[in-house]
Structure 1
Amino acid sequence: MKRIIPMAGILLAAWLVVNNPLSNTYVASLVDNRESITVSKESNLLETIESNAKKYRIDAVDAKIDPVWKAIPGINGLEVDIKASYNKMKKDGVFDEHKLVYKQLKPKVHLNDLSASPIYKGNPDKKMVSFLINVAWGNEYLPDILATLKKQNVKASFFLEGRWVQKNPELAKMIVEAGHEVGNHSYTHPDMSKISEAKIRQEIMKTNDVIEATTGKQVTWLAPPSGYFNDAVVRIAKEQKLGTLMWSVDTIDWQKPSRDVLLQRVMSKVHNGAMILMHPTESTSSSLDELITEIKQKDLEINTVTEMLSEERSMSDNE
């Protein structure tokens, strides 16, 4: 026969389990132990991030004047943001260097702190390059160049001659409306190393004025025609709050090279911080799409001169 336990007995047993002080102590100890394990796990993760932070730190680099390359911009350092990194990892509770969050550290010496000096390239630790497109002619190739830049989602820096802007205001506006940077390429395209200081100042100021009046953009960079300059040009440009730009890679597209020659010419010399000189020519127009693709395949970002010379690190600098 089956033994039948009265309902009252079941209820009494349940009451004893719930109200027994020993039972409460046991349950409480289980909860406390679980909490201590969680706290210990979190503490260990935080300690691991803190102990590894120094290993992943990259010091900021100050701007400097190099004896060969002249003014070289600085670049921000990187430091692990411990709190943000912990918050990103705490769900899994496991240290993962790929989930580290960084904050950038400013250098002590900036490009603007340096004495007047030309700039040929960006910081070698920055995985970015820029196209410097000097415009005083070549209107027929500009639409295709702009279309290729749009297709590839690339921003460039166009240096405009003042006279050209006055004659072609719609093209100048088209460049700006496409999101590109515009700079000063003098007003009449002279050899700026052979004109008076008064004429240098006039060439710079007049071009600044016409670009701003036409496009609404203030200019911050000067690209002297044919790369001719002297100390007076650089000094006067700095007085007008303009940096003077040269280049480190030249397409020499005005010589009408074939597409293969132009590509080889650039890709054999391209480097971190490269400033790549070009013009609106048939050679550049026909090779630009492939050129951009090949540069991107080297894990180099392409952006304006201002972005490339800034101290901000690019997306891939800490990879």
Structure 2
Amino acid sequence: MRVYYFSRQRLWRGFWLAVLSFSLLAWGYWYNQSLQALPAASLPIYQGSGREKEVALTVNVFWGEEYLPQMLSILEKERVKATFFIGGQWAEQFPALTRTIYKKGHEIGSHGYAHPHPDQLTVSDNLQDIRRAEEILVKITGERPRLFAPPYGEHGQPVLQAASEAGYRTILWSVDTVDWQRPEARVIIERVLGKVHNGAIILMHPTAPTVEALPVIIKELKSRGYRLVTVSQLLNHLESKP
């Protein structure tokens, strides 16, 4: 009787694993089909051209304001311009700091307004979140952002469609520091330098270990012959390739 019960357990476990596998395959097929229905310009950008020895540093900002002045100081000292994806709600709280980032010549992109899970929103709700952030960023900087980094990197069809309808390119990344977990600075350095490649988009956040790691990362990237540019500069080379 015990053997029979154990076998039945294994049978049910196998059945549910099969159901789960089929569901994942079905979801993957549906997701790929939904992306294929979108115009090419709506698809997310993960990196620039592999032909160019250049990389872009990006900083998603929805917290960590206490570390931004140090990051800006390091970037200024190293003569590097980065792309800051700023959340509208955060910019409302820190308009002076947002303006400082812009006036120092860094590129400002949108990180949406309220940092929701965009994959859980409709196209209309995503549009509303993006446009609300845009209104705030334009008011502070006087310039409309053209790049959008979706919160949590979520990029389902409603997110991409909304960003495209609002006139944005959706930007993701090819090198993730995972610095929001606040590992030691050496871990962040290893993650970047171990995975960097031509056209890399490097994702960072304003944290204490990121501040510590940043000058080391910049100096080593330069020593390897990389040019550090903004995301828009990466896209220029990507879109002008033969």
With normalisation by structure 1, the TM-score equals 0.62
SS in 2 for 1:131: strand
In structure 2, relative to structure 1, the CA distance for the partners of 1:165 and 1:126 (3 Å cut) is same
CA distance in 2: counterparts of 1:195 and 1:235, whole angstroms: 12
- 1:114 offset after TM fit, Å? 2.8
Q: Look up the match of 2:86.
A: 160
- 1:67-78 equivalence runs, <5 A: none
> 2:230 matched to 1:304?
yes
- 1:115 offset after TM fit, Å? 4.2
Q: Look up the match of 1:244.
A: 170
CA distance in 1: counterparts of 2:65 and 2:216, whole angstroms: 21
> 2:103 matched to 1:189?
no
Q: Which moved more, 1:252-261 or 1:181-190?
A: 252-261
CA distance in 1: counterparts of 2:223 and 2:152, whole angstroms: 30
> 2:167 matched to 1:267?
no
- 1:311 offset after TM fit, Å? 2.5
Alignment RMSD:
2.1
CA distance in 2: counterparts of 1:285 and 1:207, whole angstroms: 26
CA distance in 2: counterparts of 1:277 and 1:283, whole angstroms: 14
> 2:78 matched to 1:114?
no
- 1:1-319 equivalence runs, <5 A: 114-311=40-237
CA distance in 2: counterparts of 1:203 and 1:131, whole angstroms: 25
CA distance in 2: counterparts of 1:308 and 1:293, whole angstroms: 20
Q: Look up the match of 2:3.
A: none
With normalisation by structure 2, the TM-score equals 0.81
SS in 2 for 1:276: strand
Q: Look up the match of 1:52.
A: none
Detail structure 1 runs of 4+ shifted over 4 Å in the superposition: none
- 1:312 offset after TM fit, Å? 7.7
SS in 2 for 1:310: helix
SS in 1 for 2:50: coil
CA contact (8 A) 2:49 2:238 kept: no
For 1:234-268, what per-residue CA distance to the aligned partner results, in whole angstroms no more than 9, with x for missing partners? Answer: 12211211000110001111111112111111100
- 1:298 offset after TM fit, Å? 1.2
CA distance in 2: counterparts of 1:116 and 1:211, whole angstroms: 22
CA distance in 2: counterparts of 1:241 and 1:299, whole angstroms: 34
CA distance in 2: counterparts of 1:146 and 1:157, whole angstroms: 12
CA distance in 2: counterparts of 1:198 and 1:137, whole angstroms: 26
CA distance in 1: counterparts of 2:214 and 2:42, whole angstroms: 33
In structure 2, relative to structure 1, the CA distance for the partners of 1:283 and 1:312 (3 Å cut) is same
Task: Select the structure that is richer in helix.
Answer: 2
5+ residue gaps, structure 1: 1-66, 71-112, 314-319
The structure with the larger Rg is: 1
CA contact (8 A) 2:124 2:162 kept: no
SS in 2 for 1:126: coil
Could you say which structure has the greater relative contact order, defined with CA pairs below 8 angstroms and 6 or more residues apart?
2
For 1:196-239, what per-residue CA distance to the aligned partner results, in whole angstroms no more than 9, with x for missing partners? Answer: 22110101111111001111121100100110121121122112
CA distance in 1: counterparts of 2:238 and 2:156, whole angstroms: 30
Residue-pair matches, total: 206
5+ residue gaps, structure 2: 1-31
- 1:287 offset after TM fit, Å? 1.0
Q: Percent identity?
A: 39
CA distance in 2: counterparts of 1:115 and 1:169, whole angstroms: 31
SS in 1 for 2:237: coil
CA distance in 2: counterparts of 1:274 and 1:208, whole angstroms: 26
CA contact (8 A) 1:191 1:229 kept: no
